[in-house]
Amino acid sequence: MKSTGVTIADVAREAGVSPMTVSRSLREPARVSAKSRERIAEVIERLGYVPDPAARALAAGRTNVIGVIIPSVTNNVFSDVMRGIYGVIENSPWQVQLGNSRYVAETEEALTRTFLSQRPAGLIVSGVDQTRKTRELLINAPCRVVQIMELGEAPIDMMVGFSHREAARVATQHLFDKGYRRPAFLAARVDPRTKRRMAGFEDVVRTAGAFDPSRILATSAPSSAALGRTLMAELLDNAPETDSVLCNNDDLALGALFECLHRGIDVPNAIGICGFNDLEMMAVAYPTITSVKTYREEMGRIAATMILETLKGIEPEEPVVDLGFDVMSRQSTAKLL
């Protein structure tokens, strides 16, 4: 059944030591004499021994699994975060276990329960909107927990993210600073982060006395450039006084731009466009597109690093990391004044 079939006992016998010494030389080499260590290493190499993680987990009462719970595998934002996580974990003895909550709180709770029952080495969860029960599970978790994506009031343990509301505020203010007066907001499937961005948009627009609900478009469809075109078309038809759009992400922004190009609308002079996330493409589009740069891969990297460090007994200097954001001002909002 097993491919290699080599167990720790085989290695021990061959190296002339007890299984315990082999086990130690693998996990705490400093506690084994150099001579034994070398001999054991040689035998391991020769026999092609690979420790059985299941046996190890059962005996040690913990696994080498770092659980990651995200609400979507479709959303590129999470692919970027995962990339950051994988980058850190790839060359460590730990492994990632991915769970997809599909934006359903009950699923998230079930996943949390399942993950915890596996005694993970650490847990990375998305957002701050867990159910009370999930929160409780995580607070009592026998491992460290990092919340990613956003910042919030009461961190369960550690946290890496940025303020979506503040980012949207700054982006909206950017539109006003560039001379736009009647900005709209486009969003696809509304998740908690989107809600906060929408709130940030509203904050600034209300302050400027330019609030108009007909310039806020959201749908339940998943985000795409095609949807960006559709929403933009709808916006132009129903709220023709609109002079700029803040898009909840860059797919929508690209779609919005394409719709304008198709209609022969002058971007940025007739319509200004600002995206969110700053995909690599925004800087090379024609015209180049203003976007709020977010640090998604870095978020994953830092979260994973925090887990690995605490596993080594090193506490992070700051348990809550604000990665911030940057509005990358480009041609799509460079209106002639």
**Contact partners, residue 75, CB within 8 Å, separation at least 6:** 222, 223
Give the span between the Cα atoms of 45 and 11, in whole angstroms. Answer: 10
What are the φ/ψ torsions at residue 319 (nearest 5 degrees)?
A: -70, -20
DSSP characters over 259-316: HHHHHT--TTTT-EEEEEE--GGGGTSSS--EEEE--HHHHHHHHHHHHHHHHTTPPP
- Residue 182 interface partner, choices DNA, a copy of itself, none, CB cut-off 5-8 Å depending on type: none
> What is the nearest approach in angstroms of DNA to the Cβ of residue 140?
17
Query: Which residues here bind DNA, judged by CB under 7 A?
Result: 2, 5, 7-9, 16-24, 26-27, 30-33, 35-36, 49, 51-52, 55-56, 58-61
- Closer Cβ to a copy of itself, 126 or 163, answer by number: 126
- Residue 26 interface partner, choices DNA, a copy of itself, none, CB cut-off 5-8 Å depending on type: DNA
- Residue 18 interface partner, choices DNA, a copy of itself, none, CB cut-off 5-8 Å depending on type: DNA
- Closer Cβ to DNA, 36 or 72, answer by number: 36
> What is the nearest approach in angstroms of a copy of itself to the Cβ of residue 3?
4
Please give, one letter per residue, the 3-state secondary structure of 174-242.
HHHHCCCCCEEEEECCCCHHHHHHHHHHHHHHHHCCCCCHHHEEECCCCCCHHHHHHHHHHHHHHCCCC
Query: Which residues here bind a copy of itself, judged by CB under 8 A?
Result: 1-4, 48, 50-55, 57-58, 61-63, 73-74, 76, 79, 82-83, 86-87, 90, 95-98, 100, 113-114, 116-119, 137, 140-142, 224-226, 228-229, 251, 254-255, 257-258, 261-262, 280-281, 283-286
- Closer Cβ to a copy of itself, 4 or 269, answer by number: 4
- Closer Cβ to a copy of itself, 81 or 151, answer by number: 81
Report strand pairing: 122-126 vs 95-100: unpaired
Give the residue from 60, 122, 128 showing the smallest Cα distance to 97. Answer: 122
- Residue 35 interface partner, choices a copy of itself, DNA, none, CB cut-off 5-8 Å depending on type: DNA
DSSP characters over 311-327: HTTPPPS-SEEE---EE
- Closer Cβ to a copy of itself, 36 or 97, answer by number: 97
> What is the nearest approach in angstroms of DNA to the Cβ of residue 308?
18
